[in-house]
Amino acid sequence: MIEMKYFLIPFLCTFFSLSVSGQETNVRPKIGLTLSGGGAKGLAHIGILKAIDSAGLKIDYITGTSMGAIIGSLYAAGYSANDIEKLQEKLTGMYYCQIKYHFP
């Protein structure tokens, strides 16, 4: 009976490992995005996010430092690249203002 146990354990291990490895999985690879800092140059990340959106990639992990962390956190919170660009235009004053200023 002891000899049978020594034969059965490796056989079962081999059988179960082959049955698990024979299954095909359609799991997509995880994609991570790292955004660097750089002050105003960090706004270039918006263009990268637009390219990622147009390629149809889904980002699983986002990391960043300084301005990259700000842009990355907005993107992770659900803002699209276009929403972040509109926010950037409002914050930096790069939008059309209908108020006319008159200087003497």
Tell me the average pLDDT of the chain. 78
Q: Please measure the distance between the N-terminal and C-terminal CA atoms of the chain and give it in whole angstroms.
A: 106
**Is 66 inside any structural domain?**
yes
What distance in Å separates the CA atoms of residue 40 and residue 37, rounded to the nearest whole number? 9
Q: Is 80 exceeded by the pLDDT of residue 87? A: yes
**Is 2 inside any structural domain?**
no
Domains: count for the chain: 1
What distance in Å separates the CA atoms of residue 43 and residue 40, rounded to the nearest whole number? 6
**Is 4 inside any structural domain?**
no
**Is 42 inside any structural domain?**
yes
**Is 73 inside any structural domain?**
yes
For residue 32, name the pLDDT band (cuts at 50, 70, 90): very high
Q: What is the pLDDT of residue 29?
A: 86
**Is 61 inside any structural domain?**
yes
**Is 38 inside any structural domain?**
yes
- Overall pTM > 0.85: no
**Is 16 inside any structural domain?**
no
- Whether the Cβ atoms of residue 71 and residue 42 lie closer than 8 Å to each other: yes
Half-sphere exposure of residue 21: CA atoms within 13 angstroms, side-chain side: 6
pLDDT tens digits, 52-62 = 999 999 999 99
The residue segments making up the domain with residue 68 are 32-92
List 62's β-bridge partners, or say none: 33
Q: What is the pLDDT of residue 17?
A: 56
**Three-state SS for 61?**
strand
